[in-house]
């Protein structure tokens, strides 16, 4: 027997997404806020404590005044889980890109998107540069799941942290120690550029592109969603990053990273891809369930 489909209107989804962007553009995710407070309480270096204080004060002001938490208001990244019993009026990407364009205007957010990634260096690409501003390009990962709901994990991802991502195709015989060194070196060598303290997403397995998606997805997860298997490894990597002493904003102290989050997937016996994706202290993430 065929189940009745639940209709989710374009207007309802847009309303929820605009409201969610309105929360995170000026307020980081509560768990990240707790981690920053914990970092401040554990920090002994005076300069690092001053900077952490400023980061926390800046967030309080942004929340109060409803001003962007950071001048880089980011690129909207969405992990969507769409129930098979949901019917949409229009394609989800169209809805989300229209909602993003409205939110960016409504909250006076900086438009950080270059329609042509080569910024007009090739004359042939003029068409790309003249796109309508009724939509704002986003990054969308869409998965179908059982049920009649729509779950959207949204993030405003800044360029500074994103630029410090790394991916390596390891030999499948690689030891865990080599992977740990790769992750630790990636974070430490990034210095102040990803605006530490950072949250470190690690994707192990899958293939080339899936490992990168896992690393990004890991930034959206809490420990329950990641299971217990890699918890000790996460703690070990976090300890080793912070022991290397790059510190807050790459300047001082012991708090280079707040958390390490690992997601894994099965992979080909001939491969072992590992990806690292960083998120800065702004960590503007939210989940919307419709």
Residues that bind ligand SF4 (CB under 6 A): 70, 72, 74, 158-161, 194-195, 280, 282
Maximum alpha-carbon separation in the chain: 67
Q: How far is the CB of 278 from ligand SF4 (least distance, A)?
A: 8
Nearest residue (CB) to ligand SF4, 147 versus 159: 159
Strand-pair category, 284-289 with 198-206: unpaired
Nearest residue (CB) to ligand SF4, 70 versus 237: 70
Q: Which residue, judged by CB position, is nearest to ligand SF4 in the bound state?
A: 158
Tokens of 4: 């009745």
How many whole angstroms separate alpha carbon 102 and alpha carbon 134? 8
Nearest residue (CB) to ligand SF4, 74 versus 273: 74
Nearest residue (CB) to ligand SF4, 83 versus 158: 158
Q: How far is the CB of 175 from ligand SF4 (least distance, A)?
A: 32
Q: How far is the CB of 74 from ligand SF4 (least distance, A)?
A: 6
Nearest residue (CB) to ligand SF4, 60 versus 122: 60
Q: How far is the CB of 70 from ligand SF4 (least distance, A)?
A: 3
Strand-pair category, 198-206 with 6-8: unpaired
Nearest residue (CB) to ligand SF4, 16 versus 283: 283
Q: How far is the CB of 260 from ligand SF4 (least distance, A)?
A: 18
Q: How far is the CB of 62 from ligand SF4 (least distance, A)?
A: 11
């Amino acid at each position: 027997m065929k189940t009745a489909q639940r209709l989710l209107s374009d207007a309802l989804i847009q309303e929820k997404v605009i409201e969610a962007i309105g929360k995170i553009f000026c307020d980081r995710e509560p768990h990240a806020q707790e981690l920053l407070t914990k970092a401040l309480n554990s920090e002994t270096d005076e300069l690092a404590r001053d900077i952490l204080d400023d980061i926390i004060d800046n967030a309080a002001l942004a929340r109060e005044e409803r001003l962007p938490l950071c001048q880089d208001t980011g690129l909207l990244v969405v992990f969507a889980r769409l129930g098979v019993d949901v019917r949409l009026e229009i394609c989800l990407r169209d809805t989300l890109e229209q909602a993003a364009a409205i939110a960016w205007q409504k909250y006076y957010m900086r438009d950080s998107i270059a329609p042509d990634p080569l910024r007009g260096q090739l004359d042939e690409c003029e068409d790309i540069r003249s796109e309508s501003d009724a939509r704002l390009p986003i990054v969308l990962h869409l998965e179908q799941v059982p049920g009649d709901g729509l779950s959207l994990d949204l993030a405003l991802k800044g360029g500074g942290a994103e630029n410090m991502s790394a991916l390596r195709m390891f030999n499948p015989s690689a030891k865990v120690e080599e992977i740990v060194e790769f992750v630790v070196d990636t974070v430490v060598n990034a210095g102040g550029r990803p605006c530490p303290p950072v949250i470190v997403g690690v994707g192990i397995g899958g293939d080339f592109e899936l490992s990168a998606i896992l690393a990004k997805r890991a930034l959206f997860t809490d420990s329950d969603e990641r299971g217990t298997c890699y918890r000790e490894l996460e703690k070990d990597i976090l300890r080793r990053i912070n022991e290397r002493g790059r510190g807050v904003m790459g300047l001082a102290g012991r708090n280079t990273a707040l958390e390490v989050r690992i997601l894994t997937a099965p992979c080909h016996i001939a491969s072992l891809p590992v990806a690292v994706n960083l998120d800065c202290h702004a960590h503007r993430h939210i989940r919307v369930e419709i």
